[in-house]
Amino acid sequence: MSLYDDAVLVLKGYEDQGQAELRQAYLDHLAAHPDGMWKACEAGHVTASGLVIDPSRGRVLLTLHKKLRMWLQMGGHCEPEDTSLAAAALREATEESGISGLSLLPGGPVRLDRHPIPSPCNWHFDVQYAVVAPPDAVQEISDESLDLRWFAYDEVADVADESVVRLLEATRAGL
């Protein structure tokens, strides 16, 4: 199965959490753009991200994004070697956190977040997963980050934007 086909299946099966209209916009985008999984699609493209959580300590790992200078979850563009959106989210979380042994929270994506990006592309259609860190996780900063830091659940709203706060809420509901 192609990554495109996987994305369509994942989105069709997504329990929308009140996001039915947004989910349909993702599906419409992919139907109109067979290249909609890739960064080269100027109309926008699907991305995959993962919020790294440590439920035993009630905390999340956020990255201070180098370009955006914002505290965000790990994530990014799909790559040709990705076999699924879930695999892309897990790869991005592992690469950007430096933590081995991460695992996805079962049940598929926890949220969708479409946000504008600078030209030449217009949109990121982000499919967001929850990623569980092992108890002994030690993070290592990547080239894409200015910093990596663990934040207690109740600190996230003070440092991150609403999209990250909503992702954390959906993740905690999934636990």
pTM to 2 decimals?
0.95
According to the model, what pLDDT value does residue 68 have?
82
Please, what CATH class does the domain formed by 3-174 belong to?
A: alpha beta
The mean pLDDT values, 10 residues at a time, for the chain of 175 residues are: 97 90 97 95 95 97 91 96 97 96 96 86 92 93 91 98 96 92
Question: Contact 54/153 with Cβ under 8 angstroms?
Answer: no
SS3 96: helix
The SS3 assignment for 142 reads coil
The confidence score (pLDDT) of residue 37 equals 96
Distance CA 3, CA 143 (A): 26
Structure tokens at 133: 């860190």
pLDDT of residue 121: 73
Q: What is the pLDDT of residue 158?
A: 97
**Cβ atoms < 10 Å from Cβ of 119:** 6
CA end-to-end span of the chain: 29
Distance CA 115, CA 131 (A): 21
**∠ CA 3-103-44, rounded to 5°:** 35
**Alpha helices (runs of H) in 74-160, residue ranges in sequence order:** 85-97, 156-159
Q: Which of 54, 148, 166 is nearest to 110 (CA)?
A: 166
CA separation for the pair 90, 84 (Å, rounded): 10
